[in-house]
């Protein structure tokens, strides 16, 4: 069964460093998402992406964050200058459709630790 | 603001006990509703979903959920849990946008 994959599974970085989290969505999906979960808190939406553009983003997704689909398979989340509060589990998701029948499939997550 | 509440943060049951996990949402319009499960060390998997039609939906592994529009609820049920159901369960709402709004999750521990 096709699945969303994410690399790395765990990333440790120093405050102020740039990180890139990578995701390979399900191949026939057109809509891509990033969510994060700070330890002990709920899963929060960051951004949705379609047709090489951001379609929706949350307040969390400020100028420090960017997303890209650099080729036909990868979908990346970049954090330009990490802060301690960026430490969280980051989940990528993809879906075939948007709107009413939007069913999102999630990857295993990347645990980001900012020291 | 749109939100999802899961009232049970940690539930401990013995095998064969019945399970009901509460989920309430605040959004007045049309919503799609989901329950996801995260087994230890694994990714979020869809248990079941409600888009429209019969408000009682059946999912995988014997789980079901009932959408009660008047109560803004979408509670998850299973008549008889197994040890392998030990996991974290997340209710989520899609208020007709692209994003999912998640509840805080319920950790279920089932003891043999």
Residue A113, pLDDT > 90, answer yes
What is the pLDDT at residue B12?
A: 97
List CB contacts (< 8 A) between B101 and chain A: 45
Inter-residue contact B76 to B35 (CB < 8 Å) = yes
Residue A67, pLDDT > 70, answer yes
List CB contacts (< 8 A) between A55 and chain B: 98
Question: Residue B98: which of A4, A55, A107 has the nearest Cβ?
Answer: A55
What is the pLDDT at residue A91?
A: 96
Residue A99, pLDDT > 80, answer no
> Token digits for A78?
């970049």
Model pLDDT for residues A71-96, shown as the tens digit of each residue: 878 999 999 999 999 999 999 999 99
List CB contacts (< 8 A) between B9 and chain A: none
Mark yes or no for CB contact A33/B49 under 8 Å. no
The residue behind tokens 């002990």 is A40
Least confident of A39-43, A47-51, B55-59: A39-43
Distance from CA of A80 to the nearest CA of B (A): 23
Dihedral, A52, A55, A31, A70 alpha carbons, nearest 10: 30
% of chain A at pLDDT higher than 70:
99
Q: How many beta-carbon contacts under 8 Å exist across A and B?
A: 60
At residue A100 the predicted structure's pLDDT band, cuts being 50, 70 and 90, is low
Averages of pLDDT over runs of 10 residues in chain B (112 residues) are 88 97 89 92 89 93 95 96 96 86 95 93
**What's the mean pLDDT when you consider all of chain A?**
93
User: Cα dist. B21→A39, A56, A102, B80, B98 in Å?
Assistant: 21, 30, 23, 13, 25
Residue A11, pLDDT > 80, answer yes
User: Cα dist. B30→A70, A100, B4 in Å?
Assistant: 35, 9, 15
Dihedral, A66, A70, A74, A78 alpha carbons, nearest 10: -20
What is the pLDDT at residue A41?
A: 85
- CA angle A113–A54–B92, rounded 5-degree value: 65
User: Cα dist. B34→A32, A73, B40, B61 in Å?
Assistant: 18, 27, 20, 15
> Average pLDDT of A98-112?
87
């Amino acid at each position: 069964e096709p699945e969303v994959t994410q690399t790395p599974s765990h990333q440790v970085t120093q405050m102020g460093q740039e990180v890139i989290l990578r995701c390979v969505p399900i191949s026939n999906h057109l809509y891509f998402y990033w969510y994060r979960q700070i330890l002990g808190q709920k899963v929060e939406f960051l951004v949705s992406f379609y047709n090489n553009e951001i379609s929706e983003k949350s307040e969390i997704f400020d100028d420090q964050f960017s997303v890209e689909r650099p080729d036909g398979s990868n979908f990346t989340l970049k954090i330009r200058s990490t802060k301690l509060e960026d430490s969280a589990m980051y989940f990528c998701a993809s879906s075939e459709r948007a709107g009413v029948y939007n069913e999102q499939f999630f990857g295993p997550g990347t645990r980001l630790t900012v020291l | 603001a749109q939100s999802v509440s899961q009232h049970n943060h940690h539930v401990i049951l013995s095998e064969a006990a019945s399970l009901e996990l509460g989920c309430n949402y605040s959004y007045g319009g049309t919503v799609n509703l989901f329950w996801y499960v995260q087994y230890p060390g694994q990714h979020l998997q869809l248990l079941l979903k409600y888009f429209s039609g019969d408000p009682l939906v059946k999912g995988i592994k014997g789980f079901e959920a009932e959408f009660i529009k008047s109560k803004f609820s979408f509670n998850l049920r299973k008549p008889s849990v197994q040890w392998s159901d030990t996991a974290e369960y997340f209710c989520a709402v899609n208020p007709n946008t692209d994003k999912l709004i998640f509840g805080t999750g319920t950790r279920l521990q089932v003891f043999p």
